[in-house]
Amino acid sequence: MVSGLLLRRIFLTVAEASSRVSLGTRGQWFGFTTSTTRFSESSLPNPDSVVSYKQLKNMLSTHNVQLFDVRNQDEFMAGRIPDSLNIPLGQLEESLKLSPEHFQLQFEVKAPGKDDDNIVFHCQKGRRSAEALAIARQLGFNRYNTL
């Protein structure tokens, strides 16, 4: 039993390490998993669209950010960045398709515009925010960022 658990743990560790994708130019790693979605180099966020902690801190202090937390509601409730709006990844596409009026009624904040340059998506490890970027791109949002 112990050896089976140990072998399973080794397999999971190797599988997890092999499923990571490097952004390369900045030496940053995102913990992409390959369980349901596979990311190609073209679907990874552009390194220029990755917001650093320092940049986000500045954006938050000047109130110049539309910060969308795409984690599940229970994760959001357990801890969040102040002034972030929780829209779980599974609801993001439908929410971004809402008219500005309906978006504001549902979320009590101004709807993001397709040309806004202060839209930031974030999650726990980066996989869901990368998926959020892909959704926003498909919906015609031109400028967006990930944390």
Catalytic residue IDs: 123
CA distance 118 to 65: 5
For residues 113, 145, 19 and 76, what is the CA-based torsion angle, rounded to 10 degrees? -70
Angle between helices 89-96 and 100-107 (to 10 degrees): 140
